[in-house]
Chain A
Amino acid sequence: MSEIHFCLLLAALLFAIGVFGLLTRRNAIGILLSVELMANAVNINLVAFSRVHGGATGQVFALFAIALTVAEVAVGLALVILLARTRKSIDVTQARDMHG
């Protein structure tokens, strides 16, 4: 088992934890954290493959992805603040006005 396998295993583990958090968390901030975990799992993959192939493209791509994730978190936090203001709660299961 070479080092790339460890990297992939770590990334898969992180991604799975992220998905688990996304599905089980009721707290909006917890959901945002889970999404971050999933995004960073992908970044680990990018960097790992970049090392194996010996080019800088993957690492550059990972940097862009991190910048984009920050922007995404900014939007996500703004949504959380709005949710807190309008409902006095950031429990996502409370916000289900669209149910059928």
Chain B
Amino acid sequence: MAEAPPPMNLQQLALAIPLLPLAAAALIGLVRPIGRRGGLAAVISIAAAAASLGCALALLSRTAEHFVLRVPWLPVGGRTLAEVGLRFDGISAPMLVVVGTVALMVQIYSVGYLSDEGAGPRGRYFTWQSLFLFAMQGFVLSPNLLQLFCFYELIGLCSYLLIGYYWERTSAGRAATKAFWITKLGDIGFLVGLLVAWTQYKSFDLETIQHALERGPLQSGAWILPALLFCGVASKSAQFPLHVWLPDAMEGPTPVSALLHAATMVAAGVYLLVSTSFLLAGAPEVSTVIMYVGAFTAVFAAIQGAVQHDIKRVLAYSTCSQLGLMVAAIGAGSVMAGYFHLVTHAFFKALLFLAAGSAIHAVHTNDLRQMGGLGRGMRWTGLFFGVGMLALAGIPPLSGFFSKELILGALEEHPVALALGLATTLMTPYYMGRAFLLAFTGKPRSQSAEHPHESGWLMRGPMLVLCLLAIVSGGFLWSFGRTIHEEAELHVSPVGFFGVGLALLGLGLAWMLHGPRKATIDALPKAVLEAARSSLVDNLYVFGWKHVLYVVAVVTAFFDRYIVDGLMNLLGWAGDKAGGALRRVQTGLAPDYVLALFLGLLALVAWGVWGGS
């Protein structure tokens, strides 16, 4: 890998992006006096996040000077098994800024949101927040699969810790464990993928693999690696049927949900898919599967989102659905569309979660049935949620329009996937409109919703920033994307405008069914409601555990205990018994030994005389 070393200051800037939050996490987590003082912990964590974001922003303007830095790691027998390093290019640079921005906003917001919490728990919270930021930025900057995997697991661990922040609640502990294990289930694929990558390409390095593929595609088995990697993607990015952890992850504090669902955990999966998208070029069948999985997830989650009563669960399923769209676009071959939507979605989904958190903070419930009319007391929050909703719905000129239009354009040539995508485009504004109307308009439906108090500026400030980004990021990135990826064709297709029509139709539907006059909670047919709420997939997992995994485990245990162990015990038993029987030969009487000696001698003589001729 003979390359010109990148300029020193660029390297240092890139290194500082993940290392500053790591230093903050170490400081808060290891120095107990700091960890016990929540306010100080928050200041350190936010300062590190802000500095990290500053570095990312400074790098963003110099994307043209992309570089890959590699440091040998695990040297064995004169060759390096793996490398650690940094990859700074047109893919990682925008992601660094997005992750940094959302994380910083979430951390500032958390100060207000968690003000009722004790200092100790807040210290713990900000330790994990900083560690999470380190993991995510390290992941974004990883140049090889092994490093990607390490940070992938670290992200999973941090999500587990943050989802289980209210650990004294049993449901939170269960949700955290569920998220951890379901994502691990998919990560098995990633892990096996690492081995496959090493067998096929003798390297973990993304660039090396890409060059190897460009020189000559594999004769066979090119589909294995992308398929295995997609298992990891599907679990982290909550694709059907590995999406079940995501709605439960709402047990964490709302800012954590905002972080998880916008810029970190779920984004990591899509980012991995983007980083390894060159593998898909040689595996069209895998691409097709990915596209349909994504498109199906999009519709499936959208339907689920439309029947929820918990405002956070609506948003959770919405995330799931939007991730499905991104994955579908990447599967259809338009990596840029998926990546673009990842970026815009990060801003408006973080905004939506923070606004929902603000409402929850005021009413002390997640239940839409107990909200209503919050818009009067919480004008800012209502405004922010409304902007987020419109952006998510894909109304021009908000950011969601640009990215969603690209995704629909990418699906144009695949009728089934396009139909699913358009159905999602119709469903999305409907369920978002429903949540907005039920929460912020109409009459209050509970005592606590009657006099809601607007959140302080610590919470409104970050929302305002995200709100502005949700409005402008689409148009900005649109033009920015042209400068980096000249080859990317960005144009508005007729399907996109059709999508806008569908979005308006969905909003209109929401207004008709859930508007302030009627304020119906559930408008969908009863059969749909029951089917969507029946947690069928969860039951499938339980069934699989009880009736498949358990049976396999019992059979395996039987085999191990009675066949494998039995064989070993039989050998031991036989040796013991044989020894017991043979020990009687040793009488200890000298004449017996002499007799044996003579008999042996006679046998030898007899053999010498008559035998062996």
Q: List 15 A-B contacts (CB under 8 A).
A: A23-B595, A24-B591, A25-B591, A31-B590, A92-B589, A93-B591, A95-B590, A96-B587, A98-B586, A98-B588, A99-B587, A99-B589, A100-B584, A100-B586, A100-B588
**In the complex, which of the residues A19, A22, A23, A96 contacts B588, with contact meaning CB atoms closer than 8 Å?**
A96
State the CA gap A31–B590 with chains docked (Å).
Answer: 10
Report whether A100 and B589 are in contact in the complex, using a CB–CB cutoff of 8 Å: no
Q: A96-B588, A99-B586 are in contact. List 5 more A-B contacts (CB 8 A).
A: A23-B594, A26-B591, A98-B586, A99-B587, A100-B586
**CB-CB nearest in chain B for A34:** B594
Identify which of A26, A95, A98 gathers the most chain B CB atoms within 10 Å of its CB: A98
**In the complex, which of the residues B588, B591, B594, B598 contacts A99, with contact meaning CB atoms closer than 8 Å?**
B588
B74 within 8 A of A: no
What is the minimal beta-carbon distance from A38 to any residue of chain B, in angstroms? 11
Write out, one digit per residue, whether chain B residues 571-613 have a CB within 8 A of any chain A CB (1) or not (0): 0000000000011111111110011001000000000000000
Q: What are the residues of chain B within 8 A of A99 when measuring CB–CB?
A: 586-589
State the CA gap A31–B589 with chains docked (Å).
Answer: 13
State the CA gap A24–B501 with chains docked (Å).
Answer: 117
Report whether A22 and B587 are in contact in the complex, using a CB–CB cutoff of 8 Å: no
Report whether B585 and A100 are in contact in the complex, using a CB–CB cutoff of 8 Å: yes
**CB-CB nearest in chain B for A35:** B594
What is the minimal beta-carbon distance from A26 to any residue of chain B, in angstroms? 8
Q: What are the residues of chain A within 8 A of B598 when measuring CB–CB?
A: 19, 23
A97 within 8 A of B: yes
Q: How many residues on the B side are at the interface (Cβ–Cβ under 8 A)? A: 13
State the CA gap A26–B583 with chains docked (Å).
Answer: 23
Within 8 A of A (CB), among B137-196: none
Q: How many residues on the A side are at the interface (Cβ–Cβ under 8 A)? A: 15
**In the complex, which of the residues A92, A97, A98 contacts B591, with contact meaning CB atoms closer than 8 Å?**
A92
The 8 closest A-B pairs by CB, nearest first: A99-B588, A96-B588, A100-B586, A100-B583, A98-B588, A92-B590, A99-B587, A23-B591
Q: What are the residues of chain A within 8 A of B595 when measuring CB–CB?
A: 23
Within 8 A of A (CB), among B199-253: none
Report whether B591 and A22 are in contact in the complex, using a CB–CB cutoff of 8 Å: yes
What is the minimal beta-carbon distance from B479 to any residue of chain A, in angstroms? 95
State the CA gap A100–B587 with chains docked (Å).
Answer: 6
State the CA gap A31–B591 with chains docked (Å).
Answer: 9
Identify which of A25, A26, A100 gathers the most chain B CB atoms within 10 Å of its CB: A100
Q: What are the residues of chain B within 8 A of A98 when measuring CB–CB?
A: 586, 588
State the CA gap A54–B598 with chains docked (Å).
Answer: 33
What secondary structure prevails in chain A residues at the interface with B?
Answer: loop
What is the minimal beta-carbon distance from B604 to any residue of chain A, in angstroms? 15
State the CA gap A22–B597 with chains docked (Å).
Answer: 12
Q: What are the residues of chain A within 8 A of B591 when measuring CB–CB?
A: 22-26, 92-93
Report whether B590 and A97 are in contact in the complex, using a CB–CB cutoff of 8 Å: no
Report whether A97 and B594 are in contact in the complex, using a CB–CB cutoff of 8 Å: no
State the CA gap A98–B588 with chains docked (Å).
Answer: 5
Within 8 A of B (CB), among A8-53: 19, 22-26, 31
Within 8 A of B (CB), among A57-76: none
Write out, one digit per residue, whether chain A residues 74-100 have a CB within 8 A of any chain B CB (1) or not (0): 000000000000000000110111111
Report whether A93 and B585 are in contact in the complex, using a CB–CB cutoff of 8 Å: no
State the CA gap A92–B592 with chains docked (Å).
Answer: 11
**CB-CB nearest in chain A for B586:** A100
Report whether B594 and A22 are in contact in the complex, using a CB–CB cutoff of 8 Å: yes
State the CA gap A24–B598 with chains docked (Å).
Answer: 13
What is the minimal beta-carbon distance from A81 to any residue of chain B, in angstroms? 17
Q: What are the residues of chain A within 8 A of B589 when measuring CB–CB?
A: 92-93, 96, 99
Q: What are the residues of chain B within 8 A of A23 when measuring CB–CB?
A: 591, 594-595, 598
State the CA gap A100–B589 with chains docked (Å).
Answer: 11
Q: What are the residues of chain A within 8 A of B587 when measuring CB–CB?
A: 96, 99-100
Identify which of B583, B586, B590, B598 gathers the most chain A CB atoms within 10 Å of its CB: B590
State the CA gap A96–B592 with chains docked (Å).
Answer: 11
State the CA gap A73–B594 with chains docked (Å).
Answer: 18
What is the minimal beta-carbon distance from B84 to any residue of chain A, in angstroms? 64
What is the minimal beta-carbon distance from A42 to any residue of chain B, in angstroms? 14
State the CA gap A100–B591 with chains docked (Å).
Answer: 15
Write out, one digit per residue, whether chain B residues 46-71 have a CB within 8 A of any chain A CB (1) or not (0): 00000000000000000000000000
What is the minimal beta-carbon distance from B261 to any residue of chain A, in angstroms? 76
State the CA gap A96–B591 with chains docked (Å).
Answer: 11
What is the minimal beta-carbon distance from B540 to any residue of chain A, in angstroms? 64
**CB-CB nearest in chain A for B582:** A100
State the CA gap A96–B588 with chains docked (Å).
Answer: 4
State the CA gap A99–B591 with chains docked (Å).
Answer: 13
State the CA gap A100–B585 with chains docked (Å).
Answer: 7
State the CA gap A76–B586 with chains docked (Å).
Answer: 23
Identify which of B585, B594, B595 gathers the most chain A CB atoms within 10 Å of its CB: B594
State the CA gap A9–B92 with chains docked (Å).
Answer: 106
State the CA gap A26–B592 with chains docked (Å).
Answer: 11
What is the minimal beta-carbon distance from B600 to any residue of chain A, in angstroms? 13
**CB-CB nearest in chain A for B593:** A98
Q: What are the residues of chain B within 8 A of A95 when measuring CB–CB?
A: 590
State the CA gap A19–B583 with chains docked (Å).
Answer: 26
Q: What are the residues of chain A within 8 A of B585 when measuring CB–CB?
A: 100
Q: What are the residues of chain B within 8 A of A93 when measuring CB–CB?
A: 589, 591
State the CA gap A19–B599 with chains docked (Å).
Answer: 11
**In the complex, which of the residues B582, B583, B588 contacts A97, with contact meaning CB atoms closer than 8 Å?**
B588
State the CA gap A59–B588 with chains docked (Å).
Answer: 39
What is the minimal beta-carbon distance from B586 to any residue of chain A, in angstroms? 3
State the CA gap A26–B586 with chains docked (Å).
Answer: 18
What is the minimal beta-carbon distance from B266 to any residue of chain A, in angstroms? 72
What is the minimal beta-carbon distance from B21 to any residue of chain A, in angstroms? 72
State the CA gap A60–B142 with chains docked (Å).
Answer: 93
What is the minimal beta-carbon distance from B582 to any residue of chain A, in angstroms? 8
Q: What are the residues of chain B within 8 A of A25 when measuring CB–CB?
A: 591
What is the minimal beta-carbon distance from A89 to any residue of chain B, in angstroms? 14
Q: What are the residues of chain A within 8 A of B582 when measuring CB–CB?
A: 100
Q: What are the residues of chain A within 8 A of B586 when measuring CB–CB?
A: 98-100
Q: What are the residues of chain B within 8 A of A24 when measuring CB–CB?
A: 591
What is the minimal beta-carbon distance from B149 to any residue of chain A, in angstroms? 60
